[in-house]
Amino acid sequence: MMNPIHQTAVAGVSGYAGAELARLLLHHPRLAGCPPVFFGRPAGPHEEIGSRVSLAELHPQLAGSIGSTSKWVEPFQWDALREKNVRLIFLATPHEQSRAWVPRLLDLGIRVIDLSGAWRLKQSANREVYRLDDADPSAAASIQNQAVYGLPELHRERIAAAQVVANPGCYATSIILALAPLVADHRVDLDRGITCDSKSGVSGAGKTPTAKTHFMHAADNLSAYSPFNHRHTGELLEQLGLDNSNIIFTPHLLPIPRGILSTIYLTLREPAEPRAIEDCFRRFYSSSPMVRWFGANLPAIQYSVRTNYCDLGFALAPDRRRLIVVSCLDNLLKGAAGQAVQNMNLLFGWPEQEGLT
């Protein structure tokens, strides 16, 4: 029998992150007997309201997952949320859609984990990159103030009580987790600046193909894009308390399906021994089961791909001031769907790593 307290739904299950969400939720031990409701796009003017597609047909890789053969992806309908008593919905939708839907979802008493960029940024100057156009700016501002940035390693207590959780961006997660312990410990010489060189697999650009994600461009290639103005930059500034002049972030497209490696270059305010850097990170993440510390054994994408871990390691120069931190994660898991499930666990009061290890 379904437990209405834990009835979940996924809107936008057709994308890469949506597929990973479906897989994780179908196998989550706490949701046994209470499978999620899956929604695709809203029914269009020429579509029948009842049209639907099999989840296994939409995502053949899920054909062997628990209950997938009997699960259907329905066109999104507001009435279905009430009929199925949905208490938590994951939005794997474009940010414009999420921004429009969340006010009504909250009115229905449904908690939201939003995987888009719609609610991540508190400062209006940073949000301009999304070009949001709110039907009710006052209501949107109120929700924005309440939304919690969904990085459990920084905000797990606030996430547990949130009505709207704004799942972080994948690049942002890799960089913030690499820098947060050092920034919090006031070890970074901000006047010398921070350089973040990040590389992601092609799935980070989403399922809709573009000229740059086309095989002929991406294969056997490595390309930089959006220097100085990538939409994740605002997340770095707000979550780390930095000024735009303190940090440079340049993303790159790797010719691999998934995974992120961020190499972060910085200068310490005071010389430090390697053991002090080790202690700084280990203390900060002592209660964070989804962060693995590699120390001087630098992580690589192949270790973290298809897991929900963020792997961290470092190299300290002989002058004991120049420091490199390497951060690796799977952009579809710790960078998207896995982190969303981690946030769900916190919302429901379960161990945050449950269903993810």
CB-CB contact of 99 with 132 (8 Å)? yes
With the CA atoms of 14, 20, 25 and 29 taken in that order, what torsion angle do they form, in degrees rounded to the nearest 10? 160
Find the helix or strand (DSSP H, E) in which 308 lies: none
CB-CB contact of 56 with 73 (8 Å)? no
Nearest to 254 by CA among 214, 212, 302, 222: 222
Catalytic residue list? 170
**Residue owning tokens 């999304």:** 130
287 exposure class (CB count in 10 Å sphere: 0-12, 13-18, 19+):
exposed
Tell me how crowded residue 159 is: count the other CB atoms within 10 A of its CB.
23
> Angle 186-192-198 (CA atoms, 0-180°, nearest 5)?
90
CB-CB contact of 88 with 3 (8 Å)? no
Amino acid at site 132: L
Question: What's the CA gap between 135 and 100, in Å, rounded?
Answer: 8
What is the maximum alpha-carbon separation in the chain?
A: 68
CB-CB contact of 234 with 121 (8 Å)? yes
Question: What's the CA gap between 183 and 18, in Å, rounded?
Answer: 33
Phi, psi of 219 (to 5 degrees): -65, 140
Residue 49 gets which letter from DSSP? T
CB-CB contact of 89 with 115 (8 Å)? no
CB-CB contact of 260 with 170 (8 Å)? yes
